[in-house]
Amino acid sequence: MDISLQGKTALVTGGSRGIGKAIAATFVRCGANVMIVSRKEDSLRATAEEIGGNIAYIAANTGDVDSAESVVQQTLAKFGAIDIFVNNAATNPYAGPMMDVDQSRYDKTFQVNLRGPVFWTQSVWKHWMKDHPGVIVNIASIGGLRTEASLGVYNLTKAAIIHMTRQLAGELGATRVVGIAPGLIVTDFAQMLVDNFGETLAKRLPTKRLGQPQDIANLVAFLASDLASWITGETYVIDGGAGVTAGTM
């Protein structure tokens, strides 16, 4: 059965590259109007031109709570609705033990990865979804379900996003809230890991390859569609089988 988002409007943060770009392109192919947001207007413009279709963009810092109101209002003025909201934007300015993180980079990680999603979701809810139930998709990480030596602070925010998904599903009722926890995906964001460990990690997976942004976008499109209308509050791991590698041939 084909996934249809015909007549829907989606707002995607971090939509100019990587997973966000793949989500935006997939939404357009499924018939949706799409507004993408990130900080750099040049990158947004290039992405919108590449994707084509019913796509628009607004340059804004998703870690800035005040920007949410403006972006939501502009999206409603442009498309008349926000049926799907994807919290995808994230940052990771620090890699190392949690006990060595400085206050500035700790605050930056939480500003973008957690405070932003909470208050951007709040704005979407108050201005549209409260009266017009929709779908909120939170992009977490498998890091939010495990420990890692150098990503403790980042993973702490992603664990919070997983819980936020459950919490908001309980609060928002008819507006479905779902999450996705990707494994290692080949993006600019993860370039260092891919370059240094990608080949080794891929060999350990049952699927024998790393994830691509399109792998995530496919699941997002399904969860955002009416095909998933009885799903809310859950976060879905998509990691190429990283958690079931024991005993694979």
Rounded CA separation 156/110 (Å): 9
Q: Which residue has the tokens 């024991």?
A: 246
* Residue 94 annotated as catalytic: no
Please answer whether residues 60 and 39 qualify as being in contact, where contact means their C-beta atoms are separated by less than 8 angstroms: yes
Q: From the centroid of its chain, how far is CA 68?
A: 16
CA angle 128, 130, 133 (to 5 degrees): 85
57, 94, 106, 154: which one is catalytic?
154
Catalytic residues: 154
